[in-house]
Amino acid sequence: MDFHAALTNILNPPVLFFFLGMGVVFFKSDLRITEGVSKFLSLYLLFSIGFKGGHELFKSPFAEEHLLTLIACMFMACFVPIYSYFIFRAKLDHANSAALAGSFGSISAVTFVTAGAFLHSYGYEYQGFIVAGMALMESPAIVLAVILDRLGKKKNHENINEKIHWKQLLHEAFFSSSVYILIGALIVGYLSGESGWNTTKPFTEDIFKGLLTFFLLDKGIDAAKQMRELKKVGFFLVGSALLIMVINVVIAILLTKIIQMPIGDALMFVVLCASASYIAVPAAMKESIPEANPSIYLTVALSIVFPINIIIGIPLYFYILKVITGAN
């Protein structure tokens, strides 16, 4: 592994502020970030990457490689929750297994933007199609998680007559705030073209890293709070989470090789596959699978998967992809 890249990533201001946020909890500081500010920062990041993705789509002609990339995104979004569900079922009930499977099947937008900032620092960029792929990957896992939970109940003869409220579920999956703002900004960025980008660039790009840094401070606080639950999560879940991350990264790297993605797109795709949702999926699971314990799926996604990806995962994936592609 390129230890210079790893060190550069750790010393990147957003990552350092993530550690600073963890210190708020460990050192019992009275620093607090309100829920409204946290929500604004989350929506801002989704808006910015969606708008930038739309602008990149405007500049880039559609090619076979882009279609294959979108198909790969959909494949992983459907495959990951199904196989990971059966891994978790070795020790957990169907409700918690389904919620965890949904979390791993979906994606973390913040991990994505952190990887984008890492790429930019090395002079690489990613295309708009990978942002469209990210939008495609957010929702299928939510639907599949609920289906897996209901199938588990049916097998165990629990609430066998319970119906899936498809209208509510699909609305939550495809029109939640994160999905809506991401896809909406993508469309607006594409339709407004170069003039729209020039108008919004001071907001969508110039201050982006500063607000990302502040958001990771907030996520560091949340991650440290959830780490108190690690003892309850147990060795099995830690090991299972790491195993699923490794499997997803290996499959994703193989797909980037088959499709021959450029290294920027390849890294972003691998990061999406290695991440786990701690915003969209938990919000949906509270309504659709209330029996699942939030301290389990939130802790795994936010205190295990997320820190591993932003601290060592991103530079490690980048190094592997550079070796495979022969990029400088």
In this prediction, residue 248 carries a pLDDT of: 97
- Given CATH 1.20.1530.20, say whether it is the number of domain 13-21+33-325: yes
pLDDT tens digits for range 295-318: 889 889 988 999 999 999 999 999
Contact 142, 102 (CB under 8 A): yes
Sequence-separated (6 or more) residues with CB below 8 Å from residue 204: 47, 48, 51, 52, 197
pLDDT over 70 (residue 5): no
Q: Where are the domains of the chain?
A: 13-21+33-325
Cα 138 to Cα 213: distance, rounded to the nearest angstrom: 23
Q: In angstroms, rounded to a whole number, what is the distance separating the alpha carbons of residues 122 and 111?
A: 17
Q: Is the dihedral of CA 30, 35, 36, 40 positive or negative?
A: positive
What pLDDT, on a 0 to 100 scale, did the predictor assign at position 15? 87
For residues 317-322, give the mean pLDDT: 93
pLDDT-based confidence at residue 279 (cuts at 50, 70, 90):
confident
Kindly report, residue by residue over 168-210, the tens digit of the pLDDT.
767 766 787 888 888 899 999 999 999 999 999 999 888 988 9
- Predicted local distance difference test score (pLDDT) of residue 164: 64
Whether the per-residue pLDDT at 82 is higher than 90: the answer is yes
Contact between residue 215 and residue 37 where contact means Cβ atoms under 8 Å apart: no
What pLDDT digit, counting tens, does each position of 52-80 carry? 888 888 887 777 788 999 999 999 999 99
**pLDDT tens per residue across span 108-167:** 988 998 999 889 888 888 888 899 899 889 888 888 998 888 888 777 756 555 566 677
